[in-house]
Amino acid sequence: MIRKELFLAITIAIGGLFSWACSNNNGSDPVIEFSDEANDSILKLMKANYCWNLPTETPDIMMNSDAFFKKLLNSKDTVSWIKLIADIPTATTAYDIGFEYAANRYDDGKTYYAILYVKKGTKAEKVEIERGYLITHVSPTGLAKDTIAVTKDNYNTLLPNCITSGKQFSILYRRPGSGEAASTFNPEDVAVSPSKVQDPLYYSSADIFPASGKKIGYIVYNHFLSAGTYLSPLISKLNEFKNQGVKTLILDLRYNATGGYDYLSALGSSLVKTQDQGAAFAYLAREDASKDIAYKFSTDKTIQNLGSQLESIYVITGQSTAGPSETLIHALRAYWGDKIVITGEDMKGQNLATSNQVAIKLSDGSSKWAVKIALGHFADKNKNYSYRTKVNNELKEINTESGTKTQLKPLGDIEEYVLKGTLKEITGIETKTSTRSAKVSNWPSPVEYLGSSIKSEPGTISIDNLRP
């Protein structure tokens, strides 16, 4: 039963005065709203799916739903929330400039955006922007007179605000050995459907370094979203690696910051050398162990076991590596031990899963509140969720210590700094410098990493996949 009442009750009694309404900023009295039906639904949802045990004493079911929900939260919880649906913006447009970038300060005293990778099929790819280019200036109007230099003070807002402005803007960038160039982006160049997801399989090779005499497979995989669309191509690629005799696998997850966990069972079945079909590759672990959810090895017969012929797995990580990618690494460590080697940079350390936004449905079909809740920690087969985020071999992509004047090389180029170091670790062989990766004498060297456009958040799971 829903009760919506306006209270202005002032009761004068011996010993006190009680007010059941507060004034808002304009002096009028607010509507105090509560729904015992909504609170009951919230309580059931939390009991079945929340990461932590609920308080021993249940809050008053007649409380405002906002306060009721917050009373249920554990003190360690920093991700769960409740919001009025009316206050949640309805996204009709997402914005994507078509590349990811890092902001760095350089030894010439200036700050630039360094292009990390360019997404396929975008305006950025069509105008031939490449990894390693440095964005020096941005014009919020697209006009030369409005050009603004990237600085340490504005890097966090200058380009992001242009992308989401719904207006034309331009970027000016440096190209190693080719001088400067500019590209103008119109609103239609950056506006995409919220449902549109970029193909995460960015690069692959079944023999990345044939000169070594080792069969090394290499995959750059940039997110774990939309398993229904993108899991099958990944499994097909791993199957190809098995058929092509790959003995060492390099998984490049340095830009893999987000996604769901539908990949776990399939990737476990592909990459774990020996496995029990009835066993769990990973867990969603709760404080109450009886509510743990096991991610068992897949029974899909199309998944070939590449792990059975692998001698080792190398994973490249970066400062953006988070969530599902970390879970995969952690779960593999429990099976591979020291035969899984992490190179690159230390990871985020995100092991918490959250639900997607859930509308609290009432019996009449309406919803007033929406919640997002912490579901649990993603753990390995031993239910250990204390992630080791440190790499075995540190290889900084933005190497503020090296003083090198070479640009960021294309992903898949064996002279690309992090891949090169990883290949040396595997083979003991130093790759030879190619023309493609020749040094650029006038190229600035990074001295401070400021941040990346790649955003991470706890992995989300549909509440439908959990307990009702």
What residue spans define the domains of the chain?
94-192, 201-437
Confidence of residue 401 (pLDDT cuts 50, 70, 90): low
> Is the pLDDT reported for residue 26 higher than 90?
no
- pTM over 0.85? The answer is yes
* pLDDT at res. 278: 84
Helix (H, G, I), strand (E, B) or coil at 450: strand
* pLDDT at res. 445: 87
> Is the pLDDT reported for residue 275 higher than 60?
yes
Dihedral (Cα; 269, 270, 271, 273), 10-degree rounding: 70
Strand partners, 448: 105
* pLDDT at res. 76: 95
> Is the pLDDT reported for residue 12 higher than 50?
no
Cα–Cα distance for residue pair 343/428, rounded to 1 Å:
15
> Is the pLDDT reported for residue 404 higher than 80?
no
Chain centre distance of CA 406: 28
CATH code given to domain 94-192:
2.30.42.10
Angle between helices 227-243 and 264-271 (to 10 degrees): 0
**Number of Cβ within a 10 Å radius of residue 432:** 9
User: Considering the chain, what percentage of its residues have pLDDT values greater than 90?
Assistant: 73
Question: How much is the average pLDDT of 59-82?
Answer: 95
Question: How much is the average pLDDT of 107-122?
Answer: 95
The CATH superfamily assigned to 201-437 is 2-enoyl-CoA Hydratase; Chain A, domain 1 (3.90.226.10)
* pLDDT at res. 24: 41
> Is the pLDDT reported for residue 405 higher than 90?
no
Segment (H or E) for 118: strand 111-118
The region that residue 165 occupies, defined by phi over 0 for left and psi between -120 and 50 for alpha, beta otherwise, is alpha
Confidence of residue 395 (pLDDT cuts 50, 70, 90): very high
Cα–Cα distance for residue pair 97/162, rounded to 1 Å:
10
Cα–Cα distance for residue pair 20/290, rounded to 1 Å:
42
Residues sharing a CB contact under 8 Å with residue 90, sequence separation 6 or more, in sequence order: none
Strand partners, 378: 284
Closest to 133 (Cα-Cα) out of 123, 124, 144: 124
What does the pLDDT look like over 234-258, one tens digit per residue? 999 999 999 999 999 999 999 999 8
What does the pLDDT look like over 323-337, one tens digit per residue? 999 999 999 999 999
For residue 35, give both structure tokens. Answer: 């729904």
